[in-house]
Chain A
């Protein structure tokens, strides 16, 4: 049997129906005051009703966080942990931890971006997940396209996985109509790319994600110049470049290499400034955040205006897979310094493969 964790955020999505963008923090109580009703029961019921696999053994959270839904169906399951009347992020994290101890090899979760972040905090890239969309904000591309797509992913899970971004949306800014997304981490998801949000290109015509990253890495390596400081931004595309160089890179941090050798790991602004001053020439290689296209000002706050003022625009190399770039309206910058932002704006060539590039506006 395949031990599969199931956890439901019972309050995810409640803000949407009453015009609130999320249920983080105090907004949950406000949503209740406005008459918000839970939306997760329908999402999880719809998905469970479409699961046809007979080899699943569910390890579920208690009551409204899982058990109440599974027991309506003909699944084998056991319940872990306990919860009170009101639930919060700590419950999610604690229960996922207990599920890991029970030996789950897949975690199905229902919620939005906030739930994905809680799960990432505990799981990291250890166990794959299937995200059933039910939140108000689901900008993270870890979610299935729909409840039916989630069921299909579970039914056809083949053991192949890819890493997708977990985003941290600034809820206050989002409520004010601004999109402020930071890269929070990565979760491992089954490789049914056409069923994930923002990942639906038919596989027979698109370039596989991993091949695209390999090509980008090969291109970048071929073009690397000696005695030049290369600062590598966060993300799995940059990790692939580092792997090709046999350099150990931090996934979410900013690292630096010279002549194929790591000279700085998980650098902050001070570390970056010191290194830049040491070398005659510096180049930054980075990839935009999927979904919103930020290259500076979100995923990598370490690239401060002071750092960016020292790097000529032509020495900023943007890389992205074909799939990611084709789904962006534009690239974005928001460093907090208007002058620096203005200098970065305009068309930029993004390396998308060994022989392909896309010219796109930075706004």
Chain B
């Protein structure tokens, strides 16, 4: 049995209705997607997030939107990010930023000290925070901290909420109050649409003004699947619930096996172990996890929560390696 537990994907296929909707989107592949479907999707996303659909911009993958925000706003602002954070965006910021300040969060609590960030706001800044953080799975930003940032005239705050449905924590409710806030979301994770790539940005007024000409064409299968998924979110919520229960089980079992498990508010778990070549040994048995030493710390591994049977294979291999 092989198990890919390294990409933070949802192990469950989307509901059959959603798959059929995607397939319907293939019927007119020679044509661009129709505008009315884009409007419908934005309307549904507005309802889902309790915001005006005018505040929403769509893209294939939320990382594209994060990059666009960096392109638009980093010219005369410094970027402030947490390290580690979602690596593709962190690398892009390193390339594009006119100035970049990283604030390192450290084991074992991976806490972001609010004062360290607030101290940096004496000049125009674009702050990008993934909340919960990837790869630690930790919530870094609380309401009070976010409001302190947003009340500073120099600050633009972009919160990446790719794992919102798992964490239940969002700042979308502040979007009408703060023009300098944007929230990035994806349907890749909880909605099981990673293969179709649907990301969106919920924008405060300042961001909205700069995104008016952002191209919005999406692939029709993506549009149709996303619309169907939002019409009935019950199957998504059921999958999120199942993943949550499996995560709790894995956390307990891994801890019992002597693995250091860090509390996560996502669909993945960060662990630390001294077992040599841990990821390599699991891969030899068909289980792929993310070895964080490639881009961050040695001995740390990120494991996506898989299907129960995949998780069982992982757990039995871990126990074997420890013994």
Contacts and interface: CB of A to CB of B under 8 A. Distances in A.
A357 B296 contact: no
Contacts of B83: 326, 358
B169 to A, nearest CB: 24
Contacts of A202: 294
Contacts, number: 66
B121 to A, nearest CB: 13
Given A330-B106, A356-B97, A198 B84 contact: no
Contact of B94 (A146, A198, A207): A207
A275 to B, nearest CB: 33
Contacts of A355: 97-100
Report, as a range, how many residues of chain B touch the other chain: 20 to 34
Interface string A263-294: 00000000000000000000000000000000
Contacts of A347: 113, 116
A356 B297 contact: no
Contact of B295 (A146, A201, A207, A352): A201
Contacts of A360: 104, 106
Interface string B44-66: 00000000000000000000000
Grouping DSSP codes into helix (H, G, I), strand (E, B) and loop, the B interface class, with mixed when no group exceeds half, is mixed
B116 A356 contact: no
A322 B294 contact: no
Nearest to B113: A347
Interface in B91-134: 91-92, 94-95, 97-104, 106-107, 113, 116
B97 A329 contact: no
Contacts of B97: 355-356
A197 interface: yes
A326 B94 CA distance: 13
Nearest to B98: A355
Nearest to A139: B298
A309 interface: no
Contacts of A330: 104, 106
Given A146-B277, A325-B104, A326-B83, A356 B99 contact: yes
B294 A361 contact: no
Given A207-B94, A355-B100, A326 B295 contact: yes
Nearest to A358: B102
A356 B107 contact: no
Interface in A283-331: 322, 325-330
B323 interface: no
A36 B293 CA distance: 29
Contacts of B88: 205
B101 A200 contact: no
Given A197-B298, A207-B94, A327-B296, A357 B101 contact: yes
A130 B92 CA distance: 32
Nearest to A325: B104
B280 A146 contact: yes
B117 to A, nearest CB: 9
A322 B83 CA distance: 11
B247 to A, nearest CB: 25
B198 to A, nearest CB: 24
- DSSP majority for the A interface? loop
Given A322-B94, A356-B97, A329 B297 contact: yes
A264 to B, nearest CB: 33
Contact of B106 (A322, A327, A361): A361
Nearest to A138: B276
Contacts of B277: 146
A179 interface: no
Contacts of B298: 197-198, 327
Contacts of A126: none
A330 B103 CA distance: 11
A329 B101 contact: no
Interface in A345-362: 347, 352, 355-361
A80 B157 CA distance: 65
Contacts of A338: none
A76 B154 CA distance: 67
Interface in B235-277: 277
A185 B116 CA distance: 35
Nearest to A352: B102
Interface string A177-202: 00000000000000000100110111
Interface string A245-263: 0000000000000000000
Nearest to A200: B294
Interface string A222-262: 00000000000000000000000000000000000000000
A201 B98 contact: no
Contacts of A327: 293, 296-298
29 contacts: A198-B293, A200-B295, A201-B295, A202-B294, A205-B91, A205-B92, A205-B94, A206-B91, A207-B94, A326-B84, A326-B296, A327-B293, A327-B298, A328-B104, A329-B106, A329-B297, A347-B116, A355-B98, A355-B99, A356-B100, A357-B100, A358-B101, A358-B102, A359-B102, A359-B103, A359-B116, A360-B104, A360-B106, A361-B106
Interface of A: 146, 194, 197-198, 200-202, 205-207, 322, 325-330, 347, 352, 355-361
Given A202-B294, A325-B104, A361-B104, 15 more contacts: A146-B277, A146-B280, A197-B298, A198-B293, A205-B88, A207-B94, A322-B94, A326-B296, A330-B104, A347-B113, A356-B97, A356-B101, A356-B102, A358-B103, A360-B106
Interface of B: 83-84, 87-88, 91-92, 94-95, 97-104, 106-107, 113, 116, 277, 280, 293-298
Q: 8 tightest CB-CB pairs across the interface, nearest first?
A: A205-B91, A200-B294, A360-B104, A358-B102, A356-B100, A355-B99, A359-B103, A330-B106
